[in-house]
Structure 1
Amino acid sequence: MRFYKKCLYCQEELVGRTDKKFCDPQCKSAYQYKQAKEQPERFYDRVNNQLKLNRKILKEYNKGGKTTVRSSIIINEGFNPKFFTHYWKNKKGDVYLFVFEYGFLKIQEHKVKKYVLIKWQTYMENQNLS
């Protein structure tokens, strides 16, 4: 007795083992990709994607190691200051938030909101985080 089953992705008739679900690895991969896309985005993925975007934006605007940029510019690019990986407090008491090796500090100059952007330095590792 022969069972006729169809590929879960392309609906072609399957030949071979009785428990076979896909006609080839490409159909299996495409089916799994389609299933994953239909699932709601996981919390981990949302956070990870925002961290990646924040890092990319900070890197793009901080080519020299330290710079100041209007907050509206990077916010419009998709930067979200609520997503960061760690912080560093300098001797003056300013707390820089970091997205991996790129840090930012929110300031206000002449009634304009800005961010001071810096890059992580080795001397920062030796100071206590408090």
Structure 2
Amino acid sequence: MKHKRCENCEKDLVGRTDKKFCDAYCKSAYHYKKSIDEAPSFYNKVDNQLKKNRRILKHYNKAGKATVRTTILLEDGFDPNFFTHYWKNAKGQVYLFVYEYGFLKTVERDNEKYVLVIWQDYMSNE
């Protein structure tokens, strides 16, 4: 009789005939190694960038409104092409949002900057 082996550590398996791993640790380790070896999916790339953008916007906007030079955000890994939604104010300015953290690109004294805001309830009504 041929013994099946654990797909992670290759020890002989005991128990059910359809068993693939000797324990939960081996199962987890196998799938972790597999995920590292595979190229990240498009979904994962987008999701990771959204999380990074949110983390960066949150870091620089502790007071609820802030202005930060574009270069500072970009150096931290911020990518303005990844956002979840937008809001247009009465002046016609379009704020892009990453969940509850918004940003608006502006130019002040020949310096590109982002005005950072936090989503407010009144923004839902317009």
What does 1:1-130 correspond to in 2, within 5 Å?
2-127=1-126
Task: Give unmatched runs, 5+ long, in structure 1.
Answer: none
RMSD: 1.1
Structure 2 length normalisation: TM-score? Answer: 0.94
Amino acid aligned to 2:5 = K
Write the distance in 1 (CA, Å) between the matches of 2:12 and 2:85. 54
Deviation of 1:37 after TM superposition, in Å, equals: 1.8
Aligned length: 126
**Any conservation in 2 of the 1:9–1:31 contact (CA below 8 Å)?**
yes
Write the distance in 2 (CA, Å) between the matches of 1:97 and 1:19. 50
Write the distance in 2 (CA, Å) between the matches of 1:75 and 1:120. 22
Percent of aligned pairs with the same amino acid: 60
Amino acid aligned to 2:6 = C
Write the distance in 1 (CA, Å) between the matches of 2:66 and 2:96. 15
Deviation of 1:8 after TM superposition, in Å, equals: 1.1
